[in-house]
Amino acid sequence: MSTNPFYVGTKAEDCQQFFGRVAEVGRIVESLATLTTVSIIGETQIGSSSLLSYIAQRGWEKHPIAETETDHWTQILTDYDLHSFDMALFPDTKHFFTAMLNTLGATGHTAHDLISALKARQRKVVFFLDEFDATVNNPNFTADFFDGLRSVANTSTTALVVATKTSIPQLVSDGKIKTNSISPFDNLIGVTIQLGPLPDNEAYDLLKGLAALGGYTLTTEELEFIVKEGKGYPRRLRQLGRIVIEKRQQGQKLVNLAEVKKQFAQEMQLRKPRRKIPWQPIITITASIVLSLIALFIYLDITKREWTTGNFILPIVVGLATNLIYDLWRKSQKS
């Protein structure tokens, strides 16, 4: 039995598994010809990680997606060193810059060390930074990091390709990317590419290509079904393709597409994040009300006063006020 060629991972680690995005690859490579920093914006499952991986590995040399462009793209990046990093893997700036310097055969752990190493090289360098959103959600990546990274990008032999789910200007506008410099961080972006769903022709190429890697051929009906249900999202397309091949491997010569749709819906439901219940304010308010009621009961018992409607309002007000004070205190501790 052949291995299911429709991989489950989040990105195409092997260049042979990458299909489509011809226009996007071409635009990025052409931008790097002038060392222009590129911003790639794409929501989850849209394939930005696979795109970065393909270009960083010069994937077209092993697995051409556009025969007429292969030599042209190779020629543009002949004197370039390409290095890829998953920003979600780095706990802080020291680990990140150390890793970047290691790829250059240099030592150090600061942006200044990296800039010195880049200036000492004779080749052009491109750093592909995937999952860049992780840095804005990590308090260890401060304004000094973004200032340093901009200085790296501004060296005459360096460019960045940054992948995010939210645009860099929006992250700056929202205050998630802060700098100590007057010039905003998003000024370093020269080209912005918004990734959308794959067009149908590239979706078909992906499905046929991946199936062929495992020695399978999808029927016209299966292809049309997967393209319709996949909606152009590479991960959805692969997931549907995987289920179809699994049915084949289980002995279904004519795959029941209704079963495939049902299983796909179940898997998608399992992947949805569970809604978080705000337990902390609920616990704080409830505890405050209970304690206030106890205190009020003791007070009324001692003073021999009667219960009134107003007696019940006071504990609720105390509970809400206590939660507000607690919330303000927590925010002050984080700032």
The pLDDT tens digits of the residues spanning 67-90 come to 889 999 999 999 999 999 999 999
- Are 39 and 189 in contact, with CB atoms under 8 Å apart? yes
Q: According to the model, what pLDDT value does residue 181 have?
A: 83
Q: According to the model, what pLDDT value does residue 335 have?
A: 46
Q: According to the model, what pLDDT value does residue 328 have?
A: 67
Average confidence (pLDDT) over 302-320: 66
φ, ψ of residue 161 to 5 degrees: the values are: -125, 110
The tens digit of pLDDT for each residue in 114-124 reads 999 999 988 89
The answer to whether the Cα torsion of 283, 285, 286, 292 is positive or negative is positive
Just give the CATH number of 21-194: 3.40.50.300
Alpha carbon distance 36, 242 (integer Å): 38
Strands, sheet with 80-86, edge to edge from the N-terminal-most edge strand:
80-86, 124-130, 158-164, 38-41, 191-194
**Which is higher by pLDDT, 198 or 281?**
198
Average confidence (pLDDT) over 244-259: 93
Q: Is 26 exposed, middle or buried (0-12, 13-18, 19+ CB in 10 A)?
A: middle
Q: What's the whole-model pTM score?
A: 0.78
DSSP 273: P
The angle that helices 111-119 and 93-103 make with each other, rounded to 10 degrees, is: 10
Q: According to the model, what pLDDT value does residue 182 have?
A: 82
What is the pLDDT of the chain when averaged over all its residues?
A: 87
